[in-house]
Amino acid sequence: MTETPSAAASPTSRTERGHDVRVRREGELGDSVAPIIRVSDLQKTYKTARGELNLFHGLNLQVEPGEMVAIVGQSGTGKSTLLHILGALDAPSAGTVYCASTNVAQLGPRQAAAFRNREIGYVWQFHYLLPEFTALENVAMPLLARGSNKREAFAVAENWLKEVGLEDRADHRPGELSGGEQQRIALARALVNNPRLLLADEPTGDLDESTAGRVFDLVERLHVTHGLTSVLVTHNMDLAGRCSRALRLESGKLTPLAV
Ligand SMILES: Nc1ncnc2c1ncn2[C@@H]1O[C@H](COP(=O)(O)OP(=O)(O)O)[C@@H](O)[C@H]1O
Ligand SMILES: [Mg+2]
């Protein structure tokens, strides 16, 4: 799956973003802060050759704005499926899923694409950068694809390369970058549209320990400076321990985890 290109935004618009989030919260509830993710009684059923696979059993999740939540769990428990559902890349079979003020289950394909463009930055275990394009072009791609003018898109992308510390790699193709550098570029591309939510599926899973730590440092910094709410799937308990809280996906449910 590929992330759909997204709205232009400059990394300098943090203040606006903070303001934006506050306005939306007030607009929703009139008083207190509304959760940015609210999942109730989620179910997901896959039809397989061996019959139905019920992945979740009344799964609930609430994430407040600004939280950085780690999700851990054994392979095959449905972590990626949960992120796909939160990011409107897959539909729930039952239950309610509110994500960034949107009932994602009710979105049609075009609305889902627009929702992802606006609200979601997605990072995967493998970077999925386009090999024939430079780092700068990869970061600018979501802006170019939605019709931003080239000069503007490259200026914004260049700022993002600076933010992830790779301005001197602008002309490199993904094959000429290390694994850690590729993930930094993937992060810049995910955030170039200034989304509210960062969903990351084992973003450091393919990296050695020290590189993973440094990429995670960057995720943490971007999370704070851009006022993001982040949900990260990881197998690394040290990294999970650096999040606001950690949850384990097991037997179809999320339970708090002491890390
Ligand atoms: N499109 C699909 N059709 C059928 N089964 C699927 C599909 N996607 C995932 N699954 C199954 O759902 C389970 C959970 O998958 P996944 O969400 O990728 O788990 P995790 O990310 O925790 O390893 C796995 O058993 C997987 O085989
Ligand atoms: Mg997975």
* Separation CA 35–CA 113 (nearest Å): 22
Q: What is the DSSP string of 56-94?
A: -SSEEEEE-TT-EEEEE--TTSSHHHHHHHHTTSS--SE
Q: Average pLDDT for residues 17-46, to the nearest whole number?
A: 66
State the distance from the centre of ligand 2 to the C-alpha of 179, rounded, in angstroms. 19
pTM, two decimal places: 0.87
Q: How confident is the model at residue 102 (pLDDT cuts 50, 70, 90)?
A: very high
Q: Which atom of ligand 1 is nearest to the CA of 75?
A: 23
- For the segment 214-226, what is each residue's pLDDT rounded down to a tens digit? 999 999 999 999 9
Q: Which atom of ligand 1 is nearest to the CA of 90?
A: 1
At which residue do the structure tokens 């650096």 appear?
Answer: 242
Domain boundaries, the chain: 65-90+106-257
Q: Whose CA is closest to atom 26 on ligand 1?
A: 76
State the distance from the centre of ligand 2 to the C-alpha of 231, rounded, in angstroms. 13
Q: Whose CA is closest to atom 13 on ligand 1?
A: 76
Number of CB atoms found within 10 A of residue 60's CB:
14
Stated as kind and residue range, the H or E segment containing 229 is: strand 229-233
Q: What is the pLDDT of residue 15?
A: 38
Q: Which atom of ligand 1 is nearest to the CA of 48?
A: 4
- For the segment 199-249, what is each residue's pLDDT rounded down to a tens digit? 999 999 999 999 999 999 999 999 999 999 999 999 999 999 999 999 999
Q: Whose CA is closest to atom 5 on ligand 1?
A: 46
Q: Which residue ranges have their beta carbon within 6 Å of ligand 1?
A: 46, 48, 53, 55, 73, 75-81
Domain 65-90+106-257 fold is Rossmann fold (3.40.50)
